Amino acid sequence: MDELIRKLIRKYKTNDPFELAGCLNITVWFCDLGRNTRGMYYRKLRRRYIVIHENLDERWQRFVCAHELAHDRLHPGFSRFWLDEQSFFHPGKFERQANKFAIRLLTAGDRLRLHESVADFLKRNDIPEEMVKFYM
């Protein structure tokens, strides 16, 4: 996973998930996905899409984009919906991997500072505090 992230950043010179999606020809849409869905990734007729709930704040939209980008890179051929009930409270293997990928992508090039907590590190990198448990 770390090598994949390094290659993406080196090739496209960014760790911004929206820019990476554009470089990878993944269309990103924002729309109302309802109360319990933050985002989803799907493929249709060789086209790839990331859909992000439009009512999320920018921090969550960025994280969800990185999470869904992870599904494209790590789980090719699968469409994944990131539902709060399944991903946030009882994340399966693919969802845990996508969360870890998102954190590593968004913190690429940065490290914990001396005496800094993981929560503070993630906050400094504009990652939702609920993702602390996926840091390691």
Q: Is 79 or 99 the better-scoring residue by pLDDT?
A: 99
3-state helix, strand, coil in the chain (%, to 5): 50, 20, 30
Rg (CA), the chain: 14
Strands 26-31 and 47-53 turn out to be: parallel
Is residue 134 within 8 A of residue 99, CB to CB? The reply is yes
**56-to-32, 46, 52, 72, 117 alpha-carbon distances in Å:** 10, 28, 8, 21, 26
pLDDT tens for 96-110 read 899 999 999 999 989
Confidence of residue 82 (pLDDT cuts 50, 70, 90): very low
Q: What's the CATH number of domain 2-130, 1.10.10.2910, 2.60.120.260, 1.10.520.20, 3.30.1330.10?
A: 1.10.10.2910
